[in-house]
A = this chain, B = another copy of it.
Amino acid sequence: MTETRGKPSARRADLVRIAAELFAERGYRATTVRHIGDAAGVLSGSLYHHFDSKETILDELLSSYLDELLTTYREIAGAEPVTALRGLVTEAFRSLGEHRAAITVLQNERTYLRSLPRFGYLTKADDEVRRIWTTVLRDGIEAGAFRADLDPAITYRFLRDSVWVAVRWFRQDGRLSPEELAEQYLKMILDGITA
């Protein structure tokens, strides 16, 4: 009963999606199992037929997002630096649409979650993402595509933060599509805002 992994029951997936919206809106810790139950139309105790803890629900949400992101990123990373950077930024915005809830939770409660043994893989994922971006930047600087006076570490943090924090105001149904938004950002990032 209550397998932590596997068993991709449709109901189980539904419940993850329902909980994800609440986690994103109110925060993971501020969302109670009774909230989740109400939103799903069941009593809070009934959730424990599907999951053995509230953490398990979050785990399923986060790990599935990170798996997909890293898979896509590994493919993009091989390309020529400017193309790769455009790809990383565009993919980040695209993922904002599909995984808004997961990204929001990660943004707002990353430091807390990393203190939980169960979510140790968050640090590993962060490290790989950082490695991919900084490699692209370093290659681009060496190849003369990016400015030579850039610090790859600072530039990475600047780009990563600028893009991902957009989850706070990004809406899937907004007036700009993820691709258009990525274009606006790339315009500023690549060429600056000076006339």
Contact = CB atoms under 8 A, between A and B. Distances in A.
Interface of A: 25-27, 29-30, 108-109, 111-112, 144-151, 154-155, 157-158, 161-162, 165-166, 168-169, 176, 181, 184-185, 187-195
13 contacts: A27-B109, A27-B111, A29-B30, A30-B112, A146-B193, A150-B188, A154-B184, A157-B169, A158-B162, A158-B185, A158-B188, A165-B165, A188-B192
A193 to B, nearest CB: 5
Among A30, A150, A158, find the residue whose CB has the most chain B CB atoms closer than 10 A.
A158
Q: Is the interface of A mostly helix, strand, loop or mixed?
A: helix
Among A157, A176, A181, find the residue whose CB has the most chain B CB atoms closer than 10 A.
A157
A184 B151 contact: yes
